[in-house]
Amino acid sequence: MGKIEDAIQQREFKDPFNKAVVNLLFTQSYLVTAQHSLFKPHDLSPEQYNVLRILRGQNGVPTTVSSIQDRMLNKMSNASRLVEKLKMKNLVKREECPSDRRQVDVLITEKGLELLKQLEVQVEESNKQFVNLTESEAILLNDLLDKLRG
């Protein structure tokens, strides 16, 4: 991929902060595009994959769509729509909450767990390729990104 200047054909930036924001936005787009091609053969989007991972982390305990929304990486995602698409693929199931009929509980299915298991090694290997850093560089990057978000 190379330097941001070459990627977007811009030689100078107003200041290093402007360059950092442009670089982060460009890199985010690069990673999302790479993830799309990774999940496309499985008829899955990165956002749907995120929902499945959230549900797997519940260890069989039902959760609500609003709880899923709160934990999404992309807060602009429509969790209800994503859950419905996953339900149509039999990767999750939605059930009326016994204690509150207005609430809908969501659980990952065995098929959803199997798909995550199938993707696990591929995702781990792809992440290392996408990031293209040593382990110590990745740790430093994570620390810097945490600091950036305050």
Query: Which tens digit of pLDDT belongs to each residue from 45-98?
Result: 999 999 999 999 999 999 999 899 999 988 888 999 999 999 999 999 998 767
Q: Which of 68, 72, 62, 71 is nearest to 94 (CA)?
A: 62
Whether the CB-CB separation of 25 and 31 falls below 8 Å is answered with no
pLDDT of 102: 74
- For the segment 105-150, what is each residue's pLDDT rounded down to a tens digit? 999 999 999 999 999 999 999 999 989 899 999 999 999 999 999 9
pLDDT of 77: 83
Q: What is the DSSP letter of 99?
A: S
Query: Domain 43-128, what fold?
Result: Arc Repressor Mutant, subunit A (1.10.10)
- Cα–chain-centroid distance for residue 82? 12
Instruction: Indicate yes or no: pTM above 0.75.
Output: yes
Check whether 103 has a pLDDT greater than 90: no
- For the segment 17-30, what is each residue's pLDDT rounded down to a tens digit? 999 999 999 999 99
Check whether 1 has a pLDDT greater than 70: no
pLDDT of 2: 82
Whether the CB-CB separation of 50 and 91 falls below 8 Å is answered with no
Confidence of residue 13 (pLDDT cuts 50, 70, 90): very high
Own/partner pairs, 109-116, CB within 8 angstroms, 24+ separation: 112/52, 112/55, 112/56, 112/86, 113/56, 115/42, 115/44, 115/52, 115/91, 116/52, 116/53, 116/56
Structure tokens at 141: 């990057």
Check whether 101 has a pLDDT greater than 90: no
